[in-house]
Structure 1
Amino acid sequence: MNNELIKVQTNEQGDQLVSARELYKGLGIKERFSLWIARYKDMYVEGVDFTSVGLPTVVNNGAVRTLQDYKLMVDMAKHIAMMTKTTKGNQVRDYFIAVEKEHKALMADPRMQMAMGLKSAQMMLDHKDKIIEEMKPKAVFADAVNTSKQSILVGDLAKLISQNGVKIGQNRLFAYLRDNGYLHKSGSQCNRPTQRYIDQGLFEVKESSHTNPDGSIRLTFTTKVTGKGQQYFVNKFLARDDQMKIG
């Protein structure tokens, strides 16, 4: 609109945003910016009402310094202006109301809606390769999830991980699980899951009894990875650049 008092930007979703530093300057606030904005941040939800951003600024020696800034939804900026309780604050609030009214009228225009739709479609096309690449691990992981209906041996988990693109054998996987605290390292409990990860539902221990030639009973314990555990470890290995390195 004409006579722009404070710059209002519109993002790809059609939301109107205001720089906290520009609002601070427009309201003529005298106290330090960090103290001023901290008071209002506690009243709103980050990621909904505002987002944290960096503001590159050239300082006296010509170097570029990044200042902390925030992108505020126009509703939040409007409320802050009103809470300032000054003549300037009322002017800024009225300005935001006028900008908001003009924006709503513009967005209601069918031609604008079509333009926004075309812009969104073009962005999807421009980023299609990136989107496809990002979806690949998720698609592979979905295949892994579908196989996770029952508990399996650690050796079978190694095969499952390998099938999903990260080559690892049974022995190296056992070593990884011991080194990272999932399994006990030594003693009678060696290669059995630690209680922490049993409680989390990643492992279970199958107990079997065998009769010795002398008639005595011998118990054996087998570590098995639950369906939840299979999903957890496949996801963990894929998330590390699809090629986790285990020394």
Structure 2
Amino acid sequence: MNNEIQRFDFRGASLRTLTDEAGEPWFVAKDACDILGIDTNHLRDALDDDEITNLRNSEVWNQPGRAPLIISEPGLYKLIMRSRKPEAKEFQRWVTHEVLPQIRKTGGYIPATDADDDMTILAKAVMIGKRTMEQQQRKITEQQTRIVELEPKARFADAVAASDDTCLVGELAKMLLQNGIPVGQNRLFRLLRAEGYLGKSGSNRNMPTQRAMELGLFRIKETTVTHADGHTTVSRTPKVTGKGQRYFIDRYRGRTQPSLEAGA
């Protein structure tokens, strides 16, 4: 919860509200019940657990006596539907069309009264504007911090994906291990076969499947080998492309060793 209770005026009746850490509004239950003509007894029976709670923050409620019950926006709508007062519909429209949009847009509501002069209204607006800018600055700072944390990883991943450098499957296993993915070369071969990236049998065993080649994850290195008797053979070795390295790191990040073994 934030550290400020806002007081709104509905036809001379007070409605106190505050927002939680996510910016969602909560209303003092007694105020809403008084406006709607609803008995405050058994409110917990009428609302779900996530729609009603006690205000426990002493910095918010520093008045004598027990801190009041507060209700969420969905909880308020439930009470409005239970009300038999003709003003209930007007109250709901006031909350939904005036109070909530202003809270979510500016971080506050400016309830002008007949006693407020232009300077008072302006002072309230400046206070709300300052609070809104502070909230936006906090969000920007958090986003910038997150960008700084992710930037090295993003640069590395982009560089690898754009690179023409290929690596052996064993080298990919080492990369995965460095990224916290517990897998060795043999287990990685089993996993790639099981998930359809490498062939499973015959001359195609451990060779990239058509699907893997179309995704650009592998290249095949062919090496001509001349034997002692003069005949030659062609050795075929799967190499993981830069795009493939990033693909498999992203795919297997967060897996635990048992799940890797399950996929083998």
TM-score, normalised to structure 1, is 0.51
**Does 2:169 align with 1:154?**
yes
Change (3 A) 1:222 1:216: same
Q: CA deviation at 1:222?
A: 1.1
- Tell me, in whole angstroms, the C-alpha distance in 2 between the residues paired with 1:111 and 1:180: 59
Q: In structure 2, what is the equivalent of residue 23 of structure 1?
A: none
Change (3 A) 1:116 1:95: closer
Change (3 A) 1:55 1:218: farther
SS at the partner of 2:237?
A: strand
Within the candidate set 84, 105, 128, 1:112 is matched to 128
- RMSD of aligned C-alpha atoms? 5.0
- How many corresponding residue pairs? 186
Change (3 A) 1:106 1:178: same
SS at the partner of 1:206?
A: strand
Q: In structure 2, what is the equivalent of residue 189 of structure 1?
A: 204
Within the candidate set 228, 237, 248, 1:233 is matched to 248
Q: In structure 1, what is the equivalent of residue 213 of structure 2?
A: 198
Q: In structure 1, what is the equivalent of residue 62 of structure 2?
A: none
Q: In structure 1, what is the equivalent of residue 98 of structure 2?
A: 98
Q: In structure 2, what is the equivalent of residue 2 of structure 1?
A: 9
Bigger Cα Rg: 2
- Tell me, in whole angstroms, the C-alpha distance in 1 between the residues paired with 2:100 and 2:149: 40
Q: In structure 2, what is the equivalent of residue 31 of structure 1?
A: none
Within the candidate set 172, 179, 199, 2:194 is matched to 179
Q: Which ranges in structure 1 are unaligned for 5 or more consecutive residues?
A: 18-25, 27-53, 59-70, 73-87
Q: CA deviation at 1:154?
A: 0.5
Q: In structure 1, what is the equivalent of residue 67 of structure 2?
A: none
Question: Which residues in structure 2 correspond to 1:209-224 (within 5 Å)?
Answer: 209-212=224-227, 216-224=231-239
SS at the partner of 1:184?
A: coil
Q: CA deviation at 1:95?
A: 5.8
Change (3 A) 1:94 1:121: closer
Q: What do residues 62-90 of structure 1 show as CA deviations (whole Å, max 9, x unaligned)?
A: xxxxxxxxx99xxxxxxxxxxxxxxx989
- Tell me, in whole angstroms, the C-alpha distance in 1 between the residues paired with 2:155 and 2:257: 19
Change (3 A) 1:208 1:167: same
Q: CA deviation at 1:157?
A: 0.6
Q: CA deviation at 1:156?
A: 1.0
Aligned residues with identical type, % of pairs: 31
Q: CA deviation at 1:153?
A: 0.8
Q: CA deviation at 1:114?
A: 2.7
What letter is aligned with 1:170? Answer: Q
Q: CA deviation at 1:190?
A: 0.4
SS at the partner of 2:253?
A: helix
- Tell me, in whole angstroms, the C-alpha distance in 1 between the residues paired with 2:231 and 2:240: 30
- Tell me, in whole angstroms, the C-alpha distance in 2 between the residues paired with 1:162 and 1:102: 51
TM-score, normalised to structure 2, is 0.48
Q: CA deviation at 1:231?
A: 0.7
- Tell me, in whole angstroms, the C-alpha distance in 1 between the residues paired with 2:125 and 2:51: 37
Q: CA deviation at 1:205?
A: 1.6
- Tell me, in whole angstroms, the C-alpha distance in 2 between the residues paired with 1:12 and 1:57: 16
Q: CA deviation at 1:232?
A: 1.5
- Tell me, in whole angstroms, the C-alpha distance in 1 between the residues paired with 2:196 and 2:176: 19
Q: CA deviation at 1:152?
A: 1.0
Change (3 A) 1:101 1:122: closer
SS at the partner of 1:109?
A: helix
What letter is aligned with 1:189? Answer: N
Change (3 A) 1:9 1:232: farther
What letter is aligned with 1:196? Answer: R
Q: Which ranges in structure 2 are unaligned for 5 or more consecutive residues?
A: 1-7, 27-35, 37-47, 53-72, 75-87, 111-123
